[in-house]
């Protein structure tokens, strides 16, 4: 009798851990994320196509700031690239973010130095936006990092291709 309860409890725990996805946790099936092409390209070349990305659970989250709104970021980057606006502060910000990400990564210092030079000299076109839709039902909740600055802003640092659908390449 006692063993049955123990087995039942273990099976319940196992089932919950297996199905505890971000979709279930947040009550949303999809996430939306806007990535500059260069970061995706670096991840493809140096991190085995494992992506670090923040996302929101709606395309246009009204309560997030502009910098955490995938639609606004997409529009902004698209315009920057279209007009080759190399002085735009968003381009500088992306160069800084990508450089910081690379600096703290596990890559060798030779690769880090080479990538820092690459990011610093990349043309505006390298920052063209790619819009992703994430399948949150495929991502276990333990991989979720809440950033906390805005209500609908989350991060996953180990996304793989099967969890991503490219909406706008």
Partner 1 sequence: MNPDVIQLYSLVGLRALAEYDAPEYRRVTDLSRNELEEKIRRLQASVSDEPLLSEIRARMSELELIQGESRSQTELAFLLKQLSNSCLQRAQQLALLQSRTMRSEGTSTQPQRTAVRDAERPKTSAPESEEFVKLAAMRLLRALPAYSAEFNVRLRNVEVDCLLRPADSRMPVIFIEAKVALRNEDVLRSAMNQLKKAAAGWGKGAFQVVLTTAVDRSLHLAGFEGRTGSPYLLVYDQEANEFIENTSEHLLAAAVRRVQDALP
Task: List contacts with partner 1 (CB under 8 A).
Answer: 37-38, 41-42, 45-46, 52, 54, 82-84, 96-97, 99-101, 103-105, 108-123, 125-126, 128, 145, 147-149, 155, 157, 169
Spell out a b/e string for 91-109, using b for 16 or more CB atoms within 10 Å of the CB, else e. Answer: beebbeebbebbeeeebee
Nearer to partner 1, 41 or 135 (CB): 41
- Using the minimum distance from each CB to partner 1, give the nearer residue, 58 or 67: 67
CB atoms under 10 Å from CB of 128, counted, come to: 19
> How near is the Cβ of 84 to partner 1 at its closest, in Å?
4
**Least distance to partner 1, CB of residue 98, Å:** 9
Dihedral pair phi/psi, residue 133, rounded to 5° = -115, 125
Q: What is the DSSP string of 4-45?
A: HHHHHHHHHHHHHHHH-BHHHHHT-SEEEEEEEHHHHHHHHH
User: Which of residues 29 and 167 has its CB atom nearest to partner 1 in the complex?
Assistant: 167
Closer residue to partner 1 in complex, CB, 14/117: 117
Closest approach of partner 1 to the CB of residue 127, in Å: 9
Three-state DSSP class for 81? helix
């Amino acid at each position: 009798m006692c063993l049955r309860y123990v087995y039942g409890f273990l099976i319940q725990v196992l089932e919950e851990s297996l199905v505890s996805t971000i979709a279930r946790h947040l009550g949303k099936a999809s996430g939306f994320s806007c990535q500059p092409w260069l970061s995706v390209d670096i991840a493809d070349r140096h991190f085995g196509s494992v992506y670090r990305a923040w996302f929101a659970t709606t395309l246009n989250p009204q309560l997030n700031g502009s910098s955490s709104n995938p639609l606004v970021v997409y529009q902004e980057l698209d315009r920057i690239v279209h007009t080759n606006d190399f002085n735009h502060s968003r381009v500088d910000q992306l160069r800084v973010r990508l450089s910081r990400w690379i600096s703290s990564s596990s890559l060798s210092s030779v690769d880090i130095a080479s990538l820092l030079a690459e990011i610093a000299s990349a043309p505006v076109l390298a920052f063209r936006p790619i819009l992703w839709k994430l399948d949150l039902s495929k991502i276990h909740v333990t991989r979720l990092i809440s950033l906390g600055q805005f209500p609908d802003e989350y991060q996953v640092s180990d996304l793989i291709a099967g969890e991503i659908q490219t909406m706008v390449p």
